[in-house]
Amino acid sequence: MTEPLIIGAMVRTLGAYPSGWRHPGAHRDPAGDAAVLRRIAELGEEAGLDYLFFGDWLATGPDLEFRDPYLLARIDPLSAVLFLAGVTSRIGLIATVNTTYADPYATARALASLDVLTGGRAGVNLVTGVEPRAAGNHGRDAHADNENRYDRAEEFVTALDRLWDSWSADAWIADADRGVLIDPDGLREAGVEGAHVRVTGPLNVARPPQGRLPIVHAGTSPRSRALAATEADLALIAAPSLADAVATRTGLRLLAAEAGRSPEAVRVIAPVLPVVGETDAEAQAIVARLLSLVPLAEEHQRSRPAFPVNRSVTALADALGVAADDPLRSAAFDAPVTAAEAERLGEEGAALIERLARIAGLEISGSARGTSLTWRHLVAAHAVPGAFVVGSAASVADHFETWRDAGAADGFNVLSAFQPAQFEAFTRLAAPELRRRGLLGREGSTLRERLSVTPRVGSSRLVSSGVDA
């Protein structure tokens, strides 16, 4: 029998689609994040999701308002998971740590503490960062180059492993009659002396219930893929198509085998942005509304700092190769797209129009079906693409099942276009259908057990321990 998929929620309180915060009823004030986080945790745990995942970004700026509003102001990931540790009892909690700037001892200590407090539900997503503004926020003149970042990341993993392994599993004796609390031979130093990371140890937190906490990593560079294949339990990918995902998963499994790991040791997780409704038409209407709410280059927005340059009909026409003298370049945002105009948008334009009919129920002017497609919809969909999976519970479950059966992913990180209504719709409608099909519902008291991943026995990362993790 095929095991269920690994399904977690990638939490973005302001929503994962740039205009999601504008949707009626959507959460839009970071000051109220605590209530939304509680609600997401409650829904995710009740639905049987495997974990809540918190990404990170170590800087902010006005440009993010239009590109990624959820990055403007957000709760620190470690703070978020520690907050939710007290209001959950089963679901895994994964926090992102940037190895370029973080201190390995403090990181190991905080995560081991989380693991102890939750009975083994902690995980960590290790990133190296790509935001140049983060350097100034950490007292540096420039962001480290790719090779140095990954050299440090590899040493960082070694430090985490050895610090978490400071205590043997049986080191804590607590024999009151003999007056013996610990076996001193079961307490070890870390002894990491690298070019980028130095840490002595031992860790002053009891041995984490999971030993080595599950490690997550994402990236596209060769060094990033190598780190994911050799050290990660979950490898997060961003594949634009089913074929790309299959190729990426195959490549990661080959790299794992070359490193002496079982190919199954690395679980490949793909992102998914489901827009769920009671019916396909209801879900399509939500997407159409999200597209209509994307800020475009209208007069009152031209003076805004860092407003994207591609959000105009002219920019769309340039991208699609429309003739310089074509009058459609001056089309009004809210004018319907006619059949004659659609023919002048070329193959790429035809593909965009077909996609909008599929995900948003939008049709060119004169069609007897659907809602009229406007230039606003076209510009928004081209400038702010979203990898939507749109429809009823059955339609969303079909996507999960198709990717699983094709060997494209071992699981999914579920994003919600806006909170909390779309996450509520996913857990209320899609999750029961996924469970009915055997795609959701993994077992295990710890996150590692739930993910069905085992630490690398005999790895150089664990050589100092001599005990199982």
**Quick check: 459 pLDDT over 50?**
no
Burial 324-337 (b: 16+ CB within 10 A, else e): eeeebbebebeebb
Query: Average pLDDT, stretch 66-70?
Result: 94
| pLDDT grade for 462, boundaries at 50, 70 and 90 | very low
| pLDDT grade for 468, boundaries at 50, 70 and 90 | very low
CB 37, CB 117: distance < 8 Å: no
CB 422, CB 287: distance < 8 Å: no
pLDDT tens for 309-342 read 899 999 999 999 999 999 999 999 999 999 999 9
CB 433, CB 129: distance < 8 Å: no
Identify the residue with better confidence: 174 or 366: 174
**Quick check: 22 pLDDT over 80?**
yes
Overall fold of domain 6-276+389-462: TIM Barrel (3.20.20)
- Output the CA–CA distances (angstroms, integers) from residue 456 to 87, 152, 252, 453, 463, in the order listed: 32, 20, 16, 9, 10
Least confident of 111-115, 306-310, 438-442: 306-310
CA nearest neighbour of 297 among 284, 289, 307:
307
CB 423, CB 272: distance < 8 Å: no
| pLDDT grade for 143, boundaries at 50, 70 and 90 | confident
Q: In whole angstroms, what is the distance from residue 312 CA to residue 378 CA?
A: 10
- Output the CA–CA distances (angstroms, integers) from residue 320 to 344, 345, 355, 444, in the order listed: 9, 6, 15, 51
pLDDT tens for 329-379 read 999 999 999 999 999 999 999 999 999 999 999 999 766 566 899 999 999
Per-residue confidence (pLDDT) for residue 467, from 0 to 100 = 26
Give the chain's mean pLDDT.
93
- For the chain, give the percent of residues with pLDDT over 70: 95
φ/ψ bin of 459: left (φ > 0), alpha (ψ from -120 to 50), beta (otherwise): beta
Dihedral of alpha carbons 185, 120, 220, 384, sign:
negative
| pLDDT grade for 464, boundaries at 50, 70 and 90 | very low
**Quick check: 42 pLDDT over 80?**
yes
- Residue 217 C-alpha from the chain's centroid: 10
Is 367 exposed, middle or buried (CB count within 10 Å of its CB: 0-12, 13-18, 19+)?
A: middle
Per-residue confidence (pLDDT) for residue 392, from 0 to 100 = 98
Which residues partner with 268 through β-bridges? 235
Q: What is the DSSP letter of 145?
A: P
Helix (H, G, I), strand (E, B) or coil at 237: coil
Which residues partner with 54 through β-bridges? 95
Residue 19 dihedral angles phi and psi, to the nearest 5°: -100, 5
Query: Average pLDDT, stretch 88-101?
Result: 97
Per-residue confidence (pLDDT) for residue 261, from 0 to 100 = 94
Q: What is the DSSP letter of 430?
A: I
Per-residue confidence (pLDDT) for residue 306, from 0 to 100 = 79
Residue ranges per structural domain of the chain: 6-276+389-462, 295-383
**Quick check: 72 pLDDT over 80?**
yes
- Output the CA–CA distances (angstroms, integers) from residue 229 to 213, 308, 347, in the order listed: 16, 36, 38
Per-residue confidence (pLDDT) for residue 129, from 0 to 100 = 80
CA nearest neighbour of 91 among 131, 49, 135:
49
pLDDT tens for 97-139 read 999 999 999 999 999 999 999 999 999 999 998 788 998 999 8
Least confident of 23-37, 290-304, 336-350: 290-304
pLDDT tens for 194-218 read 999 999 999 999 999 999 999 999 9
Q: In whole angstroms, what is the distance from residue 183 CA to residue 170 CA?
A: 8
- Output the CA–CA distances (angstroms, integers) from residue 220 to 123, 217, 251, 314, 394, in the order listed: 21, 10, 12, 32, 32
**Quick check: 461 pLDDT over 90?**
no
Query: Average pLDDT, stretch 385-404?
Result: 97
- For the chain, give the percent of residues with pLDDT over 90: 87
DSSP string for residues in 318-368: HHHT--TT-GGGG--TTSBPPHHHHHTTHHHHHHHHHHHHHHH-EE-TT-S
Residue 399 dihedral angles phi and psi, to the nearest 5°: -65, -50
Query: Average pLDDT, stretch 187-192?
Result: 96
| pLDDT grade for 302, boundaries at 50, 70 and 90 | low
CB 465, CB 215: distance < 8 Å: no
Query: Average pLDDT, stretch 88-98?
Result: 98
Per-residue confidence (pLDDT) for residue 189, from 0 to 100 = 96
